[in-house]
Amino acid sequence: MEMQEKALVEKLDEAAGYLRGILGGIEPEIGLILGSGLGPFAETLEDAIFVPYADVPFMKTSSATSHVGRFVIGRSEGKWVICMQGRLHGYEGYSSQDVAFPVWMMHKLGVDTIIVTNAAGAINENYSVGDFCIMSDHINFTGRNPVAGMEPDQIAFRFFSMLDAYDRELRKIAKDEAISFGIPVQEGVYLGLLGPSFETPAEIRAFRSWGADTVAMSVCEEVIAARHVGMRVLGMSLCSNMACGVDGASPNDVEVLEVAEQRSHDFVLLMQAIIKRI
Ligand code: HPA
């Protein structure tokens, strides 16, 4: 007889239990998902503990360039945080629930606030390459939702509101801190796609007419999972490029990583200042 596959809730318990065993009483309160080129923040943590995704039961691993694929748990501004140094993307062939798995797992570890970050293309013509953009809301255009299916309903109730999914207080903190450092910051609507091809100019024009300011290939599914279990969310993009067709732009992954590297110092400053105030 075929072995029955474990239920999602059991897999999450096992994964969280594995990490708890390594952490020995340390309880991270803030989770960060570090996007393309933004992983170096994890190296600023004190007393860091590194746990490769491949070691965690039922967790998938990152294959994307610059996504290291490990949890880094450590202290920042005196607070215990857990970073995902590299994320899981739908375009790697992972299901929506695979992408959401570490978010639900971090919640089980006691994380109640999550900061999701990424590199994104700027659709809004008033934005510049190198600007940070606080997510005020999102348009999930991946065509997927991690809470769809029978199992996520066992984690938490499936019909939840997405009003103010991006926490107003956290957005204000992020904006105040960026302004106080003189870091260029925008606040806008993020549109998430499956990828991995970049968008066409016609798509970008259509997304602009829908009210989207930035676009990339992550975040929405993670944020839906986080809201599903009631976590507070802050979303922060780095505008690594103008979106396809804007001023003749034609995005590529090398440019994305180069800009992220150039802006990495400001990113670290900003994250630390925000963490201090959470
Ligand atoms: N489009 C989609 N994803 C991205 C982009 C973009 O322009 N830049 C960084 N990630």
Q: How many CB atoms lie within 10 A of CB 154?
A: 12
- Structure tokens belonging to residue 3: 């072995």
Indicate the pLDDT class of residue 51, thresholds 50, 70 and 90.
very high
Residues with CB under 6 A from ligand 1: 119-121, 198-199, 215-217, 240-241, 243, 251, 256
The tens digit of pLDDT for each residue in 54-110 reads: 999 999 998 777 778 999 999 999 999 999 999 999 999 999 999 999 999 999 999
Helix or strand or coil: residue 39? Answer: helix
Structure confidence at residue 230 as a pLDDT band (50, 70, 90): very high
Give 212-246 as a DSSP string.
--EEESSSHHHHHHHHHTT-EEEEEEEEEEEPTTG
Question: Which ligand 1 atom is nearest residue 216's CA?
Answer: 3
Q: How far is the CA of 160 from the centre of ligand 1 (A)?
A: 29
Please tell me the predicted confidence (pLDDT) of residue 67: 72
Kindly give the number of the ligand 1 atom that is closest to the alpha carbon of 193. 2
pLDDT of residue 112: 98
- Amino acid 25 reads G
Residues 229, 100: Cα–Cα separation, whole Å: 11
Query: What is the per-residue pLDDT for 1?
Result: 55
In angstroms and rounded to an integer, the radius of gyration of the C-alpha atoms of the chain is 18
Residue with tokens 């105030």: 277
In single-letter form, the type of residue at position 165 comes to A
pTM score, whole prediction: 0.97
